[in-house]
Chain A
Amino acid sequence: MSDAASASDTIARIEFTETGNSGPCKRFGWSHEEEEHTWTIGRCAELVVPLPPGERYLRLDVSLVPFVHPPRLAEQRLRIEINGRALRELALDGQDIVSVDIDVGQLADPDALCLVFNQPDAASPRSLGLSADGRVLGFGFQWLRVRRVQQLGASPFEPRTLASGGSVARAGAQGSEPGSVIVLGDLQAREVQEIAARIPSFERSFAFTWMAPAETGTSAQAAALREAANLSAVWCQLVPGRPEPSLLDLVPEGVPTVTFPRLTMPVLWPFDGPDRRLVPEPAYPDGRYVFGDTVAAGLADAAGTDDELFAEYLRRSAEQCPNVDAALEEYAEMLGEADRRCTIRVAELILDQFHEVKLFHNYEDPTGVLLRHIATRAIIQSGLYREFGLATVLRELSELTQGYQGLFQNQVPINPIVAQRYGLRWYDPAARYRYTYNKWTVRDYTLQYIRWRPWCF
């Protein structure tokens, strides 16, 4: 393609260099800016480019270079999604400019381009024996441009598939009842609902209601669903191994229904298991340390100084730590199965990012990263943003969740041996973890647990 587009046709130009302007557009899956480019890391990366109103035909140009090392990694495949629609797959073996023509009228949202770059062949220089760099690199982005064109080339999109059946949520008309959004699921779903409900654009337009699993399927909840005024969307958490809540059958036709998985990550806490000491006590109705640790439990009767006990704990952990590759493979299968059932996918994000970013506080409590992802996808898939524009809603969501920690109250430290074997780059052995009203290091927590000491909650 020609790089000689006139400046007046250019709507946005994003430079991914150290002195560039890419920061506000990047969502997840990006490394730091380097002198000439920014690498995408993991298997997908997301970028949002706001569009001015009234645009019709656009051309997106992206200048990028794949991370390759022939012959072991001769090329990288790239699959771009624009506002939820997938483009045909490309394969790049060197620096290139990828161009895509877009009919804005065909997009679910004309206010912004939400670009997801999937890169299934991403690899780390370390895995190829090139350097100690453990980042899983996809493409080095140099610049991206969006410009107006008079006519379009052939459609770059694959046949349309929309999880929600293409329906679009309705906000309450001005002066009328707000639209209702019902969110079904456990505390994770409640958090997602809390995030969405606090987005300023939604405050007057949507009333969010959370229904806990114990309540779903009851006649009262069914009545609430049937009688919800101006039902705009239903977001439902699905639990692996359990059928979809029967309540979903009652969702009126045409109301967007979004499903997302219950998020767990047991592989990072492989020693979770029973402890004979875990019994209800007056001061600890659920037991003293509710997240079991079989290695620590095995040391319950051991004598020794703190240093000796912790050293023995680490020694036994190394001995008993499961094969991480096999565990990860099994976990990936579980995530894949969840993805197949749900309209919101999480497998790629979790598997790509867990080395780089903390995604869980304990095996069942996600950090803000994942909860924000679910909220973002749910908003996009159910079309709640339409009245306000995707760029506006995503900007508000981003500002709202700056520093958001997710379900952070019960942080269980990751065993140092486990962190090492999984290569968790964010892991800090000296970090302090919150457990309700306490903060302790992994060593403190482990010794407290072994000695079954009381604590304040």
Chain B
Amino acid sequence: MAWNGGKSGLRSGVLIYSNCQGEELHRLATRIQSLQQRFEFKLILYHALGESEAHWRPYGEAFMRNVDIVWEQIGPDYVEERAEFHARRPAGARVITFPSFSMLSLWPLAGSDPRTRREPRYPDGRYLQPDFVAAELGVDPDILAGSDDAIFQRYMAISAERMPNLDRRLGLDVAKWRQRDSQSDIPVTDFLMDRFRRCQLFHGLDHLTGEPLGVILKGLCERTFAGLADLDRINQDIEAMLEFYVGADYLQTPVHPQVARHFGLEWYDPQATYRYYANEWTYRDYIVRLVRNAPYCQ
């Protein structure tokens, strides 16, 4: 294909249009050595776009000028922003699609928490992946007056009672993945089903570890740069980049042990600690803090 950016004396632009998963793809792509001289990777986060024109201002003509390729993430939400994006992206740009995906079946207790609110030190709320059992316990003054041990035991008892049908939840996830795959150039369902028991693919509902990000990035690069003579070198660079890369792990959400047992998660370690911003907590620490809506350091 023609690389218009190259003709204008600029590096060719590859524009990633995505949710936060695209941030990680952008982080990885910009550091692929064999592409750095020829391609400029750009990013538009669709969940950060608002309705006003001001949000689009950084993505004007100058931004779009060298864009030859668009890596567009397919998802069900932000429909108006997507339509606006389609109107604004360069008409001749080649579009390669990839799916957005999450895995609700690993966190089946995810729900809302009435205590989540904007606070000066926690602009998005304290705990970004609420849990309805923790939320319920967290508004009961008798529970909160108890010891950490009592809180944890209560949580484990209630959560066991409320645990949904996990196989059904997995089925819903798979159905959603397949549906997105059908609209995308880079399918992921077979990979996810093949790997999710053997290795950790998610840090939280939609925060990915290095492995799935690598699969998507390699898929996108293979389609995008298929005509380049040094595709093997590009793949080697990606592999090197991924060797120690952990993905978006700044907000890790521990998996309930009952869920881990049910699905036979081989990578699950009951003693593991999980990163939450600048903290490392065990599963128990995390649950007690979640119930107490405890403050923490970022």
A and B: bona fide binding partners: yes
B36 & A283 in contact (Cβ 8 Å cutoff): yes
B237 x A454 contact (CB < 8 A): yes
Contact B33 A439 (CB under 8 A): no
A200, B241: Cβ atoms closer than 8 Å = no
Residues of A within 8 A of B242 (CB): 456
Does residue B175 face the partner (Cβ distance < 8 Å to A)? no
Rank and list the top 10 A-B pairs by shortest CB-CB distance, nearest first: A438-B244, A403-B279, A440-B244, A283-B31, A404-B297, A403-B281, A456-B245, A456-B241, A198-B295, A403-B280
Whether the pair B244, A444 counts as a contact (CB closer than 8 A) is yes
Whole-angstrom CA separation of A125 from B11 in the bound complex: 66
User: Which B residues are in CB contact (< 8 Å) with A391?
Assistant: none
> Given A282-B36, A437-B27, A438-B244, 11 more contacts at CB 8 Å?
A198-B121, A198-B297, A283-B30, A283-B33, A399-B294, A401-B297, A402-B281, A406-B278, A438-B246, A440-B244, A453-B240
Answer whether A456 and B27 are a contact pair too, CB < 8 Å, given A400-B296, A404-B279, A444-B244: yes
Query: Residue B298 at the A interface, CB < 8 A?
Result: yes
- Say yes or no for B285: interface residue by CB 8 A criterion: yes
8 cross-chain CB contacts under 8 A: A194-B298, A197-B121, A198-B297, A283-B33, A400-B295, A402-B281, A405-B279, A406-B278
Complex Cα distance, B160 from A169, in Å, reads 49
Q: How far is the CB of A47 from chain B (nearest CB, A)?
A: 21
Chain A 372-415, CB within 8 Å of chain B: the 1/0 string? 00000000000000000000000000011111111010000000
Q: Write out, one digit per residue, whether chain A residues 421-457 have a CB within 8 A of any chain B CB (1) or not (0).
A: 0000000000000110111100010001000011111
A195 on interface, CB distance cutoff 8 Å? yes
| Residue B273 is within 8 A (CB to CB) of chain A in the complex | yes
B241 to chain A: which residues have CB within 8 Å? 454-456
- Whether B297 and A194, one on each chain, are in contact in the complex, defined by CB atoms closer than 8 angstroms, is yes
Collect the chain A residues with CB atoms within 8 Å of residue B31's CB: 283, 454-457
Smallest distance from the beta carbon of A359 to chain B beta carbons, Å?
16
CA A399 – CA B240 in complex, angstroms? 40
Q: For window 230-279 of chain B, which residues contact chain A by CB distance below 8 Å?
A: 237, 240-242, 244-247, 249, 273, 276, 278-279
Docked CA distance A197–B296 (Å): 11
- Produce 1/0 per residue, B17-29, CB < 8 A to A: 0000000000110
Q: For chain A residues 186-220, which have a beta carbon within 8 Å of chain B?
A: 191, 194-195, 197-200, 203
Q: Which residues from B are CB-within-8-Å of A198?
A: 121, 295-297
Query: What is the chain B residue whose CB lies nearest that of A284?
Result: B31
**B→A interface (CB under 8 Å):** 27-28, 30-31, 33, 36, 121, 237, 240-242, 244-247, 249, 273, 276, 278-281, 285, 289, 294-298
Name the distance in Å between B13's Cβ and chain A's nearest Cβ. Answer: 15
Q: For the complex, what is the distance from the CA of A264 to the CA of B93, rounded to whole Å?
A: 52
**In the assembled complex, which residues on chain A have CB atoms less than 8 Å from the CB atom of B279?**
402-405
Q: How far is the CA of A328 from the CA of B233 in the complex (A)?
A: 47
Query: Judging by beta carbons under 8 Å apart, are B295 and A405 in contact?
Result: no
The CA-CA distance from A401 to B295 in the complex, in Å, is 9
Q: Contact between A454 and B33 (Cβ–Cβ < 8 Å)?
A: yes
Chain A residues whose C-beta falls within 8 Å of the C-beta of B36 in the assembled complex? 282-283
Residues of A within 8 A of B30 (CB): 283
Chain A residues packing against B (C-beta within 8 Å): 191, 194-195, 197-200, 203, 282-283, 368, 399-406, 408, 434-435, 437-440, 444, 448, 453-457
Docked CA distance A198–B297 (Å): 7
Q: Known: A198-B297, A399-B294, A454-B240. Contact between A437 and B285, CB under 8 A?
A: no
Contacts of B237 in A (CB 8 A): 454
Q: Which partner residue on chain B sits nearest A441 by CB separation? A: B244
Q: How far apart are B246's CB and chain A's nearest CB, in angstroms?
A: 5
Partner of A438, one of B245, B285, B295, B298: B245
Q: Which residues of A contact B298 (CB under 8 A)?
A: 194
Given contacts A283-B31, A405-B280, A454-B237, is CB(A437)–CB(B246) below 8 Å?
Answer: yes
Q: A282-B36, A439-B244 are in contact. Are A404 and B278 (CB under 8 A)?
A: yes
CA distance A448 to B245 in the complex (A): 13
Given A194-B297, A437-B27, A454-B237, check contact A403 B285 (CB 8 Å). Answer: yes
Please tell me if the beta carbons of A437 and B278 are within 8 angstroms of each other in the complex.
Answer: no
Q: How far is the CB of A409 from chain B (nearest CB, A)?
A: 9
Which of B31, B247, B298 is the most central at the interface, judged by chain A CB atoms within 10 Å of its CB? B31
- Most central of A198, A406, A448 by chain B CB within 10 Å: A198
Question: When chains A and B are docked, how far (Å) is the Cα of A440 from the Cα of B245?
Answer: 9
Given the complex, which residues of A lie within 8 Å of B247, measured CB to CB? 437
CA distance A456 to B289 in the complex (A): 31
Q: Which residues of A contact B276 (CB under 8 A)?
A: 403
A200 and B295 form a contact (CB under 8 A) = yes
Q: A403-B285, A405-B278, A456-B31 are in contact. Are A195 and B297 (CB under 8 A)?
A: yes
A406 to B273 Cα, complex, angstroms: 16
Q: Tell me the complex Cα distance, A399–B297, Å.
A: 10
Specify the chain B residue showing the minimal Cβ separation from A438.
Answer: B244
Q: How far apart are the CA atoms of A457 and B27 in the complex, in Å?
A: 7
Complex CA–CA separation, A132 to B249 (angstroms): 40
CB contacts (< 8 Å) of B281 on chain A: these are 402-403
Tell me the nearest residue of chain B to A282, going by C-beta: B36
Contacts of A406 in B (CB 8 A): 278
Give the docked Cα–Cα distance between A264 and B222 (Å): 46
Chain B minimum-CB-distance residue to A208: B121
Partner of B273, one of A200, A403, A435, A440: A403
User: What's the least CB distance linking A117 to chain B, in Å?
Assistant: 27
B27 contacts across to A, CB distance below 8 A: 437, 456-457
Roughly how many angstroms separate A199 CA and B249 CA in the complex, as a whole number? 25
Question: Which chain A positions have C-beta within 8 A of B246?
Answer: 434, 437-439
Q: How far is the CA of A440 from the CA of B241 in the complex (A)?
A: 13
State A404–B245 Cα separation when bound (angstroms): 22
Which chain A residue lies CB-closest to B122? A198
CB distance from B29 to the nearest CB of A (A): 10
CB nearest to B274 among chain A residues: A403
Do A456 and B28 touch (CB < 8 A)? yes
Taking the closest CB of chain A, its distance from the CB of B213, in whole angstroms, is 10
A443 vs B43: C-alpha distance in the bound complex, in angstroms? 35
Q: Complex formed: what's the CA distance from A453 to B295 in Å?
A: 39
Shortest CB-to-CB span from B84 to chain A, Å, is: 31
Kindly state the separation between the CA atoms of A406 and B280 in the bound complex, as whole angstroms: 11
* Whole-angstrom CA separation of A455 from B121 in the bound complex: 32
Contact A455 B296 (CB under 8 A): no
Q: Which of chain B's residues have a CB closer than 8 A to the CB of A402?
A: 279, 281, 285, 289
A437 vs B298: C-alpha distance in the bound complex, in angstroms? 16
CA distance A198 to B298 in the complex (A): 10
Shortest CB-to-CB span from B31 to chain A, Å, is 5
Interchain CA distance A402-B297 in the complex, whole Å = 9
